[in-house]
Amino acid sequence: MGLKRRLTDLSYRLYDRSRHRSAFDAAGHPGTAPDFSGLQQGKYALLVTFRRDGTPVPTPVWYALLDDRRLVLSTEERTAKVRRVRRDPRARAIPSDARGKPLGPGVEATVRVLADPAEIDAAEAALDAKYGRSRRVYEKVMTDHSATAYLELSPRGDAGA
């Protein structure tokens, strides 16, 4: 296992241990917001995905809005959240701080893994425009960029819109 991968795994464990306790409470409650407008100004969102047994799993993530109807994020392909969304496209997005403390109402969403190169390029451009150099440095040091998955969330009921 390479140094970068060990460093990434260590950071994941650190983030898991430092997650705000209210993130788990919020993850268990349905979202009430109709769209992503509550995420316009934020830097972090609590992405809630679901285990096979239905248990919600909250993860603070960086995100970008393509519009009020689509939220995108990137993560390593090998993460559990990618496996969970491939199996169950239900998700929830909640405005949060870096530790996952909820800052507003959540949105019930449908998530999909982007495969089309044009969609991936649009997602990467939106993320780069929002986070710029800090994200590029973080990803260069902490992630295996060759195995990146891009996720797109749409408010539930808008998946095909």
Provide the pLDDT for residue 155: 96
**Alpha-carbon span 70 to 145, nearest angstrom:** 23
Domain locations in the chain as residue ranges:
3-155
Indicate the pLDDT class of residue 147, thresholds 50, 70 and 90: confident
Please, are residues 70 and 153 in contact by the beta-carbon 8 Å criterion?
yes
Provide the pLDDT for residue 146: 63
Q: Does residue 117 register a pLDDT over 90?
A: yes
Q: Report residue 54 as tokens.
A: 């239905």
Residues above pLDDT 90, as percent of the chain: 68
Q: Residue 143: in which H helix or E strand, if any?
A: none
Q: Is 88 exposed, middle or buried (0-12, 13-18, 19+ CB in 10 A)?
A: middle
Give the CATH class of 3-155.
mainly beta
Higher pLDDT pick, 135 / 35: 35
